[in-house]
Amino acid sequence: MKFVRFYDGEEEKEGIVLGDKIQEIEGCMFEDFSKKENFYSYSDVTLLPPVSPKHLIAVGKSYKEHIDEMAARRKDEPEYPKQPIFFFEAPGSISSHEKPIVLPKEGSCKQVDLEGELAIVIGKKGKNIKKENALDYVFGYTCANDVSARGIPDIGGLWGIGLSKSLDTFTPIGPAIETEVDDPNNLEISSRLNGEITQKSNTKDMIFTVEDFVSYCSSRLTLYPGDVIMSGTPAGVRPLKKGDQVEVSIEKVGVLKNTVDQEEE
């Protein structure tokens, strides 16, 4: 089942995707809800980010090939983590499907890269969650582009603040939350830049699993319904420029599309 949030021209609502229509629901997707008899076509609404999280948590160094890629860029030796590496991003950076990614003014950072990722959406409150029970706390999954501005320093290192990823519009997610995914650790993931595939991998290539992320993260803080854990990006990150068209595609989850714009001087 796919859930979306949308604006019908008057108010924000939640709904279930039924083919090319959206059926409005009454209540919250994370709790008991009822289906209403209101149906909308995509052309009549504006899609919003499917969740508004209390915590937006990112995972670093998830794929060995991406670690190698970034080490080569820095001209140093790759280091593979022995446990998941987390940091916070500002929830205000979240944007939605088909909304522009707005680059900072020219010259304000070295470059801005696309980073396609599987986003894990938490469905119920949990702390110190055991790995074997971790998927019971997952509501579903959505596509994410963890856009990164190179050359902007982050704060605090491990469990710090990812300023380079927290700029406005730098975390587009969506278009929907898919709740029916049998194995999140075996999904094809790819990114396209202007139609060309730049990233192509599978979540089975992650150093850690979705269960690891949820369990380890919950050992440090309480997770709440709607919280998002960004699971990290595979190799093939590419710089963005104004006018680019970006797509993040994840098997069984969906396709997130965004254009790229830039702040004016």
Alpha-carbon gap, residue 5 to 46, rounded angstroms: 9
Whether residue 16 is predicted with pLDDT greater than 50 in this model: the reply is yes
Alpha-carbon gap, residue 252 to 246, rounded angstroms: 19
pLDDT in the model for residue 164: 85
Q: Residue range 42-56: average pLDDT?
A: 96
Q: Residue range 15-37: average pLDDT?
A: 96
Across the chain, mean pLDDT equals 94
Q: Residue range 202-223: average pLDDT?
A: 97
Q: Residue range 97-104: average pLDDT?
A: 96
pLDDT in the model for residue 158: 47
Cross-strand pairs, 250: 189, 254
Asked if 16 and 23 touch (Cβ cutoff 8 Å), the reply is yes
Quickly state the pLDDT bin for 161 (edges 50, 70, 90): low
Quickly state the pLDDT bin for 157 (edges 50, 70, 90): low
Quickly state the pLDDT bin for 174 (edges 50, 70, 90): very high
Whether residue 109 is predicted with pLDDT greater than 90 in this model: the reply is no
Whether residue 264 is predicted with pLDDT greater than 90 in this model: the reply is no
DSSP letters, 179-215, are ---S-TTS-EEEEEETTEEEEEEEGGGBSS-HHHHHH
pLDDT over 90 for what percent of the chain?
A: 84
Whether residue 56 is predicted with pLDDT greater than 60 in this model: the reply is yes
The helix (H) or strand (E) run that includes residue 228 is strand 228-230
pLDDT over 70 for what percent of the chain?
A: 95
pTM (2 decimals)? 0.94
